[in-house]
Structure 1
């Protein structure tokens, strides 16, 4: 793509690249390029009209708010983001207990990855998940 743009925007490169084309082929390419340019101009014009319309509506709303004695900053204060941070989530209570490779008792809430000791015991068929339940 960069090479194409380099050729398109450099007159010497463009002449070299189109040297073997006929005038008819060049005119066909020009017509297609002009069609793309016109499409782009139309899209930009539509976008410009939409932006102007939006700005007009915003100015009208601002005028109405000022007429009603409402400051924009008051609206911003009232419309702070609805979602507020709940802070750090409370740790889940332990649901399972097991002994690790060192013989120490460990607990697991049942959330996240299954501890390797429990996983291996279940894969080996030695125990079931219920065997590790606390209490």
Structure 2
């Protein structure tokens, strides 16, 4: 819990924190808290109203389905109904660069993703990527 929340939820801590405030400052703070509280209350009421409307629409559509003799499983079992798009297969890329790692093995890199550390070390010594092109 944050220090501010601890102060605001404890009457003792709140009294200590506001001891130096004038009555006008306290009333100004109170107005702001009331404004925030009213805004939050309106937001909650709006969300509840929207949820109630959504539930009413769902009930309406269920009634229409029942009236036509259909169930939700009739709609979901439809082979044309899909929830997931099939992923496209990405063709493997050809290697663009060839380098030798620290162990002496010859390796390749497509230029995609992170640069291999051994290739980066070679570039740090002054070579260029063009030196490693296949």
Aligned to 2:85: 83
Are 1:96 and 1:107, in contact at CA under 8 Å, matched by a contact in 2? no
Aligned residue-pair number: 123
Structure 1: unaligned runs, 5 residues or longer: none
CA RMSD, 1 decimal: 3.6
Are 2:98 and 2:107, in contact at CA under 8 Å, matched by a contact in 1? yes
Aligned to 2:64: 64
Q: Which has the larger radius of gyration?
A: 1
- Seen in structure 2, the aligned counterparts of structure 1 residues 99 and 67 have a Cα distance that, compared at 3 Å, is same
Map residues 1-135 of structure 1 onto 2, 5 A cutoff.
2-78=2-78, 79-85=81-87, 110=110, 112=112, 116=119, 123=128, 129=133, 132=134
Structure 2: unaligned runs, 5 residues or longer: none
1:124 deviation in Å? 8.8
1:123 deviation in Å? 3.6
| TM-score under structure 1 length normalisation | 0.66
1:65 deviation in Å? 0.7
Are 1:95 and 1:107, in contact at CA under 8 Å, matched by a contact in 2? no
Question: Distance in 1 between the 2:5 and 2:63 partners?
Answer: 47
Runs of 4 or more, structure 1, over 2 Å off, are 76-80, 84-87, 89-92, 94-104, 106-116, 122-125
Question: Distance in 1 between the 2:129 and 2:82 partners?
Answer: 55
Question: Distance in 1 between the 2:21 and 2:97 partners?
Answer: 80
| TM-score under structure 2 length normalisation | 0.67
Question: Distance in 1 between the 2:6 and 2:97 partners?
Answer: 67
